[in-house]
Amino acid sequence: MSSYNFIQKAVSHFNGGLKLAGHKEQSMQSGIEAALIPEELIVPLQQHIGKAAKPIVNVGDKVLKGQCIAKIETDSNSEEISVVTANIHAPSSGEIIAIEMHPLPSAITQSTKCIVIKTDGQDLWVDNLSPVSNPLELNKEELKNIIHKAGIVGLGGAGFPTHLKLVQEKPLDTLIINAAECEPYITCDAILIKEQAAKIIQGIQFILHALNIQKCLIGIEDNKPEAINALASALQNKAVDNIQIIQVPTRYPAGGEKQLIKTLTGKEIAIHSIPRDIGLVCHNVATAYAVAVAILEGKPLIERVVTVTGDNLKRSTNMQVLVGTSMSTILNACGYKESTTDEIIMGGPMMGFHLDSSDYPVIKTTNCVLVKNKKSKVEPLPCIRCGECARVCPANLLPQQLYWYVRAKDFDRVQDYQVFSCIECGCCDYVCPSHIPLVQFYRHAKTEIWTKEDEKIKSDHARQRHENRQFRLERKKKEDAERKAKKKALLQKKQGIDTSEQDSKKSAIEEALNRVKAKQTTVAKNTTNLTEEQQRQIREVDRRREDKIRQEKVLNKKEDNDNG
């Protein structure tokens, strides 16, 4: 090993950590087994933090291997690159039979929407794969685009979309490739390096090119001599001189991002900052391989190497597994007999996610499926404040202080003591003489704080909507009142016009009446203004008429009497 001059020893070390038994030999016996195609693939739309991808296929559609089935959900293309999601591709050819909620093996979400593909067994690739023959001549954007389209995410753990880590806001000087693989049992990276070292080096060169930086450090634990040798000979064959392999002492958690950077460069990353802030960027070695495959072969990320190991298995091995394959399928392939005394862990024994069954799909970040005999539960005892946890904490926290504050539900203090710097490596759990499940306390605090923050956002939103409604109602009331007042004013004004009109009419009528009266009174009768003579004549005429009437009456009386 020491014959290569590009293998060097680490310059620094991180505080704390543990020396753990490796258990890596079992699964390193054989090479990577080819993927088997299960009858059904359950492909989650969200396999990492951030947002879920949006399906672009419908139930009943036929899909080909490598076809994009879910994309980043955005309104405009300009936004696309910054949203934390990655494209998802069909891992094999077949028919979409459902798009439904399915439980997810993740500490982030309980369940997520999944595309269920019934495979046809033909495993036909899409025909428009576009391998690039001259990748180093492409510009940064083009490379980034290929990686983005291929749906590559960090394969080390968190699954952060890789294309987002290829942006260059600040000057970067060193690329760190994480090949430490510090957790016991897991060997998927080691075996990948052993078998595909040349391609990994190419992938690293592409990432260096995309980031426009020169220097790369590969951090690898010194318990993997085969992998180190494979990398070294690949480097020699390629005559690459800007990539260095750094042997890291085997000490858990050497593969933690901040711990590895401290070991390789001696630099510490401040709380709330990321390696980028000090000119470093960190990628997993399997990610580099996925980048090489995406660029050289045009194939998207649809499969990964998974270590299948543990107790109760006929054989332990590493398998190339299609994303969406049920864990029970790969466990059965290794001769696993289901038993109630076993527990299945996705990931390693320290940080892995304990599953209640083997019915979960393998996702892009599944590096290991581990079967372990269930430990008989040890009842925790009170904390005796021995301080062992603080001694082993690789993040330099005070685990027992955190523990007390979590117990007291004093989440402000919990945050003051930097619970979010906890990488949940489990060292404190491991050494605690009282067997207190400390990490679970911190997870509780973290999830509780996140939920509270979510609730706060929601309640602020509700308050805003309520206030908007109040404001609207108030405004409507005011407007109604104004409108009413206006209407009333208008009516009164109208009535005002009416009365004056009526007055004029009335007066007109009155005038007319008066005129008529006046006329009536003024009209001369022929009896007025008579002379003496005329009056006398009238009186005589009247007397004569009266006499005549009287004579007639008398005559009528006489006739009546005669007749009677």
Partner 1 sequence: MIIAIIALSVLAIAFGLLLGFAAVRYKVKTNPVVDQIDALLPQTQCGQCTYPGCRPYAEAIARDEADINQCPPGGEATIIALADLLGKDVKPLNEEHGEHAEKTVVYIDENVCIGCTLCIQACPVDAILGAAKLMHTVIADECTGCDLCIPPCPVDCIHIIPAIEDNKKIIVDLPDAPLLTNEPN
HEC profile of 342-373: EEEEECCCCCCEEECCCCCECCCCCCEEEEEE
* Number of Cβ atoms within 10 Å of the Cβ of 144: 20
- Residue 451 binding partner 1, by CB under 8 A: yes
At 161, give phi and psi (nearest 5°).
Answer: -55, 130
Tell me the window of 18-26, 177-185, 326-334, 443-451 that interacts with partner 1 (CB under 8 A): 443-451
- Residue 510 binding partner 1, by CB under 8 A: no
Q: Which is nearer to partner 1, 67 or 400 (CB)?
A: 400
Tell me the window of 132-140, 389-397, 466-474, 501-509 that interacts with partner 1 (CB under 8 A): 466-474
Residue showing tokens 């591709």: 89
**Contact predicate 105/130, CB 8 Å:** no
Please identify which residue in 9, 385, 391, 409 interacts with partner 1, judged by CB under 8 A. Answer: 409
Task: Indicate the burial class of 41 (C-beta count within 10 angstroms; 0-12, 13-18, 19 or more).
Answer: buried
Residues ≥6 apart with Cβ < 8 Å to 214: 173, 208, 242
Least distance to partner 1, CB of residue 103, Å: 11
Please identify which residue in 39, 100, 173, 460 interacts with partner 1, judged by CB under 8 A. Answer: 460
Q: Which is nearer to partner 1, 460 or 498 (CB)?
A: 460
Torsion of CA 351, 353, 354, 355, to 10 degrees: -160
Least distance to partner 1, CB of residue 197, Å: 38
- Residue 465 binding partner 1, by CB under 8 A: yes
At 7, give phi and psi (nearest 5°).
Answer: -100, 125
Please identify which residue in 447, 495, 499, 535 interacts with partner 1, judged by CB under 8 A. Answer: 447
Please identify which residue in 2, 58, 110, 561 interacts with partner 1, judged by CB under 8 A. Answer: 110
Token couple for 147: 């990686």
Please identify which residue in 129, 271, 462, 555 interacts with partner 1, judged by CB under 8 A. Answer: 462
* Number of Cβ atoms within 10 Å of the Cβ of 518: 11
Q: Which is nearer to partner 1, 469 or 483 (CB)?
A: 469
**Quick one: which of 279, 421, 391, 395 has its CA closest to 14?**
395
Least distance to partner 1, CB of residue 100, Å: 12
Least distance to partner 1, CB of residue 52, Å: 6
Instruction: Give the x-and-dash track for 419-438 against partner 1 (CB under 8 A).
Output: ---------------x-xx-
**Contact predicate 268/247, CB 8 Å:** no
Least distance to partner 1, CB of residue 158, Å: 16
- Strands in 243-350 per DSSP E: 243-248, 280-284, 303-310, 317-322, 342-346
Q: Which is nearer to partner 1, 118 or 407 (CB)?
A: 407
Distance (Å, whole) CA 376 – CA 374: 6
- Residue 113 binding partner 1, by CB under 8 A: yes
Please identify which residue in 100, 277, 455, 503 interacts with partner 1, judged by CB under 8 A. Answer: 455
Print burial letters for 176-198: b (CB count within 10 Å at least 16), e (below 16). Answer: bbbbbbbbbbbbbbbbbbbbbbb
Least distance to partner 1, CB of residue 255, Å: 23
> Of 192-221, which residues contact partner 1 (CB under 8 A)?
none
**Quick one: which of 205, 191, 67 has its CA closest to 129?**
67
Q: Which is nearer to partner 1, 460 or 479 (CB)?
A: 460
User: Cα angle vertex 464, ends 461, 465, to 5°?
Assistant: 90
Tell me the window of 74-82, 86-94, 456-464, 502-510 that interacts with partner 1 (CB under 8 A): 456-464
Please identify which residue in 26, 112, 168, 332 interacts with partner 1, judged by CB under 8 A. Answer: 112
Tell me the window of 210-218, 220-228, 450-458, 506-514 that interacts with partner 1 (CB under 8 A): 450-458
* Number of Cβ atoms within 10 Å of the Cβ of 49: 14
Please identify which residue in 18, 56, 81, 108 interacts with partner 1, judged by CB under 8 A. Answer: 108
Q: Which is nearer to partner 1, 127 or 379 (CB)?
A: 379
Residues that bind partner 1 (CB under 8 A): 46, 52, 107-113, 380-383, 406-407, 409, 434, 436-437, 440-441, 443-444, 446-448, 450-452, 454-455, 458-463, 465-466, 468-469
